[in-house]
Structure 1
């Protein structure tokens, strides 16, 4: 029988728990708040949201309802692409804090390097928020390697993380390499490839070997790569199953089996993405 994960043993990356709850498309306020509360009381200590998800208020309600102290929660949100002009960053970040019901967030991301994004203007606003103590860390999201390099050059505050789609069907080797060079954490969204991992024979094989779910295998694989995964789930069963991935230790053969998957499958591909 698989052992039960202990929240105290969740690995961290520079203080950030390496398994978090994603909340994209968790738009029903009651369901979202309940999933956040459930996750925190299950043992999660990392919650991820964004202005564009239209659920910061519900996320804040879930944090407030949970029997977990705010200072024990690593909370991240993101500034949307319409709000990346310097003054808009300052104004909307404060609005995010109000909706979340908190005095600071642990990590604030540039959601996409698109539309109103101007590296110098946008990042200077993030520096101001950092200096004021309203954000503990500066992050970027969906940045290509050259945009990561530019952000490192222009931002006075350290770039803490780059959040990108990352899973066994999109391992993002180049991005992980450049982030490692600059001591930047990689956070993987859609780590289950929006369900595609469940149909992957190699992942099924490893899951059967360990008598665990395909989701746990994919999340454990991300951890083996040094990636913080933030799977989204509103279901208590899935929230708990994902958390149990912390007890799964893949061996070298398992990782090689997954790494040998032929082909890629990008799930999130808007027209404004920097690779388009």
Structure 2
């Protein structure tokens, strides 16, 4: 009686059932020869009635067992009894046991064999490529990231050096203005700072700055516009994070380490953004 709670015995072909039945019969013959050997009889040519009767009972039991199990066997998902097309379960079972297993061969296809060989060669090539990429890709990615990061840091350092040079130029201008003021107050002549001389100069290198009206030119000559220019640069440096106080050397030495707080923070943020872009592009 079939119940939905137990799975059927799944076989791939009727030859599997034949194989199981043949192995069961062979084991039964071995046990029969062990316990009732044919050499024990007085006449080897005359069959032993007891041995023959036991063999018939064993064969009948094995056949009955396999016949009863046919309802619980499925071949490729199809019930064995329904696939055989008969109501008597013994008939398809006996036909299955008596039908020899046939092996069918297809004609050799050269194009198909060449296709299989080509696919196997392609598979081996792709496997080799993947293995090579697993060894080399991390190293190349790390090198590219290191080069990009080094380039970004070099650009940041160049920008920081340029800001330092601009700050030194402003400090030098402030020192010159202060020296001129002290010299004018004391009446002593002020020595001009050493100037850099160029072996050759081109006309396009000379800066021709318009001074505006005569009044503005007079202010430039007396130093009023220079002070305004210095104040403007000082304000710009404060906005960049530089703390510049004219005439206060002690204050400048104390604030030298933390004078570029804003500029340093902006530089670090830009380096972080560039590093993130490099990682996203990989």
Normalised-by-shorter TM-score class: under 0.3
More helix by share: 2
Tell me: higher relative CO, structure 1 or 2? Use CA pairs within 8 A at least 6 residues apart: 1
Q: Kindly name which structure, 1 or 2, has the bigger radius of gyration based on alpha carbons.
A: 2
More strand by share: 1
Q: What TM-score, normalized by structure 2, do the two folds share?
A: 0.18
Q: What TM-score, normalized by structure 1, do the two folds share?
A: 0.18
